[in-house]
A and B are shown apart, each in its own frame.
Chain A
Amino acid sequence: MNEITVASRPETLGLSADRLARIHHWMARYVDAGQLPWVSAVVARHGEIAWQGQTGLADIAAGRAIADDAIVRIYSMSKPITAVAALMLYEEGRFQLDDPIGRYIPELADMRVRIAEHGDDLVTEASDGPITINHLFTHRSGFIYGAFGDDGLARLYSARKMHFGGSSGTLADQTALLGQLPLHHHPGRHWSYGVSTDVLGRLVEVLSGQSFDRYLAERVFAPLGMTDSFFELPSDRQGRFLPCYRKTDSQLLELWDSGEPGTRFTSDITCFSGGGGLLSTQRDYLRFAEMLRRGGELDGNRLLSPRTVAFMASNHLEGDIAAIDRSSFGESATVGVGFGLGVSVMLDPAATQMLASPGEFGWGGMASTAFWVDPALDLCVVFMSQLIPSSTYPLRRELHALVQQAILD
């Protein structure tokens, strides 16, 4: 396995060292203001690292400085990994995008749809069509997240603990439970962020005959040399795992999950949430992003064909997300942004009001992590921190501008 190399000078990759240094100043401002515990970012172009850096404290109470091998919660940045895992089976002809998911997971065959609420009583009707695998990839299934809404359906999700939490039984158990809850809307009608990607993880189990964690370990993480990506933290890596903070009304950085032994990611993981359950490192995720930038291959190990990656990064909606959005939350702007198979796709940077390239694709996680691949510029960016929620600061928009302004040719 070859590590991704660092360019001798960013200028050899068409980037300005002086302008890239602005990323460090930007990161330091957030840390110095006590808004983020730490920040780390890496910018790679043409397959080489043009810039990487980090600043801040991994653990504020202990005063421990951030290191570049930190293991962090990537939450929804698990989703593109799950999409790749499913597309590997698509390439083998194991399913088609328009297949009803009920063919593989019978509990999701006959769904009901919430059409009105009277207090906590939900009025439902039969769905007017099946949920297809395409709907799962593109968040058009009607599945939601309970934690981000305050209507009766969201409360029902919360009451049933329908979030594919690490100790909520197995993927099979959670998926069966999901089949008992009504959908937010008829399949295909709207875009609503939710547990669709977790269902894709279950689909991978059904089609591969392997548990989802084994499948990812053998077919994605091992070939890509992603040595620190997993659902459950191995005990020998406890020292590299970091706390996660959240912003509250009274505190900029309140400890949310210490990450100490016995906490949620460190033991007894039984539910392998492809929507949000992975831990990873900046190095590992850069390898994943580079695989996508290179059209599906890294280090001679091919996961997907170039055409499949291009298909994944095509807009599969009829317009932008905003045109059909019914979400209370998401990891992306929705105006001028479309959605592919597990990733957002930039359609119109002017409409989005963000300096980016059409065709750029990526996603983020709720602890303020993000990545994107820019095929037009042959560029990858991975950004890490550990602050919930990701909507606290406009980090992604700002970093987009900072990266783009550093590109000179």
Chain B
Amino acid sequence: MSEIAVANRPETVGMCSQRLERIGVWMRGYVEAGKLPWAMTVVTRHGETAYREWVGKADIASGRAFEDDAILRIYSMSKPITAVAVLMLYEQGLLQLDDPVSRFIPEFATTEAAVGEHGGRLVSEPLHQAMTVRHLLTHTSGLIYGFSGGGALERLYDEHATDFGPQDGTLEEVCKRLAALPLDHQPGARWTYGVSIDVLGRIVEVVSGQSFDRFLAEHIFAPLDMKDTFFELPADRMNRFLPCYDRGPGDSLVLCEGTNDSPYANGVTCFSGGGGLLSTARDYQRFAEMLRGGGALGEVRILGPRTVAYMASNHMPGGVDLAAMGQAVFSETSYEGIGFGLGVSVVLDPARAQVLTSRGEYAWGGMASTAFWVDPEQDMSVVFLTQLIPSSSYPIRRELRVLASQAIVA
């Protein structure tokens, strides 16, 4: 299928060239300061690419320049893809938002919620209401991440390898181990970032009868021509795969994961819908543009427009923002003026959020500082890529929202 068109001039899609170039100045600032190895931004408006630039080194040690077809870890930007997969089944009447998760994964029928600790052991109680598909899509299930803190429950996650790492076993196996651990809180009580979306990947397997990687490949990646998106790097694409860096002392870059030795390079058993995908700027732009287009990219329809709008609605009880749902220790969004839909954050009030963007903008990011958002009001999508952990190192997303918004002049 055809590539996304590039606007002759940004002005033809209502954007100012000179103002867009501020994005380049900003990316160079981060790279030249040694804070990011490289950075790439793609801005698409009215379906045409208005800005697509990159700067920096793919590999600092070897000095190899970054190229725009690089394959990289999108981590939690896998989540919106998994949400779309679930919603494709939802559109076929194969599952409902209020279905108990135990309908698909029976082990969750007896899962309890932690109420406190006693003598170093977690005390739990039965659930007041079942954990449902909606709780998973909106991160209100009570499932957490083991790496997100040092509490007793996090230690249990570590001991039982329930963070859905690439070599942690199959989705079925990890879900069984996970169901034996208590939830952090009663389902629906709070917003808590965790492995909820990974459990949805298993539900896709159960409902579709396909392994999750096959489902994504056949029903999303092939139709959208996302040819470099997968859980395990094919051997013939190793030369396009990049190392990932940690933020070191003094804002330096420290190698945290190479390429040949990456857990994504071979032996992937667990298809983590919450964080396991590799992808490219081109592929993720196609995914984001499918959403911006109301579920269709060109002639290919993945979801109906009403489903995408429903996905991008605030599903928090009473329409409140995330700040009112309890502060999470780690995630890929801020909380004031931001709500949560089905697998994506949703801007409720840009003034409360203190960032120049649109009401209704929906988004997510990955822990290697990648990000994307779709702004339905402005008919725009933005994809930002780099490879630096953690994403909280710099206010990249706030800054890029301002830079993209201020470039819109018509």
Contacts and interface: CB of A to CB of B under 8 A. Distances in A.
Q: Do A and B come from one complex?
A: yes
Interface of A: 90-93, 96-98, 134, 297, 302, 304-308, 311, 314-316, 318, 340
30 contacts: A91-B22, A91-B403, A92-B25, A93-B22, A93-B26, A93-B403, A96-B354, A96-B355, A96-B395, A96-B398, A96-B399, A97-B354, A98-B354, A98-B398, A134-B354, A305-B19, A305-B405, A305-B406, A305-B408, A306-B408, A307-B356, A307-B358, A307-B405, A308-B405, A308-B406, A311-B405, A314-B351, A315-B351, A318-B352, A340-B351
Interface in B298-354: 350-352, 354
A192 B361 CA distance: 32
B16 A93 contact: no
Nearest to B334: A98
Contacts of B350: 311, 314
Interface string B229-243: 000000000000000
Interface residues of B, number: 24
Contact of B402 (A93, A318, A340): A93
Return the 7 tightest CB-CB contacts between A and B, nearest first.
A91-B406, A97-B354, A305-B406, A316-B351, A307-B405, A93-B399, A98-B354
Contacts of A297: 409
B39 interface: no
Interface of B: 16, 19, 22, 25-26, 350-352, 354-356, 358, 378, 395, 398-399, 402-403, 405-410
Contact of B356 (A302, A308, A315): A308
Contacts of B399: 93, 96
B408 A302 contact: no
Nearest to B15: A305
Most A CB atoms within 10 A — which of B398, B402, B405? B402
A90 B395 CA distance: 13
Given A91-B19, A311-B350, A311-B405, 17 more contacts: A90-B402, A91-B402, A91-B406, A93-B402, A93-B403, A96-B355, A97-B355, A297-B409, A302-B16, A305-B16, A305-B19, A306-B409, A307-B356, A307-B358, A307-B406, A308-B356, A314-B350
B22 to A, nearest CB: 6
A307 B408 contact: yes
Contacts of B25: 92
B251 to A, nearest CB: 15
A316 B349 CA distance: 9
A316 B378 CA distance: 21
A198 to B, nearest CB: 22
A75 B354 CA distance: 28
Q: Which residue, of B399, B406, B407, B410, has the highest number of chain A Cβ atoms within 10 A?
A: B406
Contacts of A134: 354
Tell which of A93, A134, A297, A306 has the most Cβ of chain B within 10 Å: A93
A18 to B, nearest CB: 37
A340 B409 CA distance: 21
B373 to A, nearest CB: 14
Contacts of B22: 91-93
B355 A304 contact: no
B126 to A, nearest CB: 39
A220 to B, nearest CB: 16
Contacts of A305: 16, 19, 405-409
A92 B356 CA distance: 12
Contacts of B403: 91, 93
A105 to B, nearest CB: 19
A232 to B, nearest CB: 32
A39 to B, nearest CB: 35
A311 B16 contact: no
Contacts of B407: 305
Contacts of B26: 93
A302 B410 CA distance: 12
Nearest to A315: B351
A340 to B, nearest CB: 8
B29 to A, nearest CB: 8
Nearest to A98: B354
A57 B365 CA distance: 63
Contacts of B351: 311, 314-316, 340
Contacts of B398: 96, 98
Contacts of A306: 408-410
Given A305-B19, A305-B407, A311 B354 contact: no
B406 A304 contact: yes
A134 to B, nearest CB: 6
Contacts of A90: 356, 402
A165 to B, nearest CB: 32
A90 B405 CA distance: 11
Contacts of B409: 297, 302, 305-306
A91 B25 CA distance: 12
A96 B354 CA distance: 8
Contacts of B19: 91, 305
Nearest to B23: A93
A89 to B, nearest CB: 11
A308 B352 CA distance: 15
Contacts of B356: 90, 307-308, 311
Contacts of A307: 356, 358, 378, 405-406, 408
A134 B336 CA distance: 14
Contacts of B405: 305, 307-308, 311
Contacts of B378: 307
